[in-house]
């Protein structure tokens, strides 16, 4: 689909921001207000697929319930037969994955200087999501946007789940193929257990580990080997891969990556309380708060 003068609904396509396997994200403009938004729409070849439409509208339904400065804001949904899409706030910022992979040393410096600020904002956004009864299920650097000021937003609710309790949890929790990104997936996701916010705490820990070490906590030659390590192997201290990481912060990440949910912090409020007391890097001066 080409941008330019093309219009979908009441929005004019401005520029292509991202292409995924089944969808694209565009910057769009609403002519009557002049306001800019982002639009996620299915590629034409998937527009009539029941399964892909279900996933898109599931993400939209989760996002519409969430209103927080560290979570992307979904505004409007269209179930058009030819161009199914949803519209969200336009947050002009790249993902942490882009900065992590960048060859520009300024991006590495940005991640280092803004580490604690970003980590706190992501934890704050996840605390809000979990409090709203939503488990993100796919926290990773790709799904965290951060602009030049270090303002951060969580995106992508395609596999997010609403927390179910008691009988409903057993009814809706039918084991199947694990959903999540293998390098950051929690042990509970792998084994098909009922999920709560502590699953996101594990993935958050794995994400922070990659951001400070330049590599995730586990690697495997095969998918099964990688998943087995999440279930059985203790990760090495982050200090082993980056001596500039403080011992205290390294131990904090290992606690987030505990195999059993009950051995991790109980929720992101506890994560934030601990994070507030910690220094991430030995070489970076950190203020006590996001001043």
- The answer to whether the beta carbons of residues 89 and 28 sit under 8 Å apart is no
Answer yes or no: same fold for 7-89 and 96-277.
no
Write down the pLDDT at residue 285: 84
Give the residue among 39, 3, 45, 37 at the shortest CA–CA distance from 21: 45
| pLDDT tens digits along 192-201 | 998 999 999 9
**Over 90: is that where the pLDDT of 170 sits?**
no
Write down the pLDDT at residue 291: 44
Write down the pLDDT at residue 290: 47
Where in the chain are the domains?
Answer: 7-89, 96-277
Element (H, E) at 101: helix 96-101
Residue 166 burial (C-beta neighbours within 10 Å; 0-12, 13-18, 19+): exposed
| pLDDT tens digits along 172-191 | 555 556 689 999 999 999 99
Q: Tell the CATH topology of 7-89.
A: Phosphorylase Kinase; domain 1 (3.30.200)
Catalytic residue IDs? 138
| pLDDT tens digits along 120-131 | 999 999 999 999
Phi first, then psi, for residue 61 (nearest 5°) are -65, -40
Q: How confident is the model at residue 289 (pLDDT cuts 50, 70, 90)?
A: low
**Over 80: is that where the pLDDT of 169 sits?**
no
Q: Tell the CATH topology of 96-277.
A: Transferase(Phosphotransferase); domain 1 (1.10.510)
Write down the pLDDT at residue 279: 97
Q: Give the number of other Cβ atoms within 10 Å of residue 219's Cβ.
A: 10
pLDDT, average across residues 75-96 = 95
- The answer to whether the beta carbons of residues 60 and 72 sit under 8 Å apart is no
Q: What's the per-residue H, E or C state across 214-282? A: CCCCCCCCCHHHHHHHHHHCCCCCHHHHCCCECHHHHHHHHHHCCCCHHHCCCCHHHHHHHHHHCCCEC
Write down the pLDDT at residue 163: 82
Q: What is the pTM of this model?
A: 0.92
Q: What percent of the chain has pLDDT over 90?
A: 87
Give the angle 34-38-41 at the CA atoms, nearest 5°.
125
| pLDDT tens digits along 17-72 | 989 899 999 999 999 999 999 999 999 999 999 999 999 999 999 999 999 999 99
């Amino acid at each position: 689909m080409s941008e330019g003068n093309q219009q979908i609904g009441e929005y004019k396509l401005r520029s292509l921001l991202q292409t995924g396997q089944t969808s694209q994200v565009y910057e769009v403009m609403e002519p009557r207000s002049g306001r800019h938004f982002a639009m996620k729409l299915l590629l034409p070849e998937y527009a009539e697929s029941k399964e892909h439409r279900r996933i898109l509208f599931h993400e939209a339904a989760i996002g519409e319930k969430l209103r927080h400065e560290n979570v992307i804001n979904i505004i409007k949904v269209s179930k058009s037969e030819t161009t199914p899409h949803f519209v969200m706030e336009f947050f002009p910022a790249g993902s942490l994955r882009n900065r992590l992979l960048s060859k520009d040393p300024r991006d590495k410096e940005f991640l280092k200087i803004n580490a604690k600020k970003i980590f706190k904002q992501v934890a704050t956004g996840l605390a809000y999501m979990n409090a709203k009864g939503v488990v993100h299920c796919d926290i990773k650097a790709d799904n965290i946007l951060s602009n030049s000021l270090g303002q951060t937003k969580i995106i992508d609710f395609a596999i997010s789940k609403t927390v179910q309790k008691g009988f409903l949890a057993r009814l809706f929790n039918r084991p199947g193929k694990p959903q999540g990104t293998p390098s950051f997936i929690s042990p509970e996701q792998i084994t098909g257990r009922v999920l709560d916010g502590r699953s996101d705490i594990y993935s958050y820990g794995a994400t922070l580990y990659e951001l400070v070490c330049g590599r995730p906590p586990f690697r495997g030659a095969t998918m099964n080997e990688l998943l087995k390590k999440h279930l059985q192997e203790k990760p090495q201290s982050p200090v082993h891969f980056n001596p500039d990481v403080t011992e205290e912060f390294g131990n904090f990440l290992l606690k987030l990556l505990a195999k059993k949910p009950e051995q991790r912090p109980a929720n992101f409020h506890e994560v934030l309380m601990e994070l507030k007391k910690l220094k991430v890097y030995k070489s970076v001066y950190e203020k006590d708060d996001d001043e």
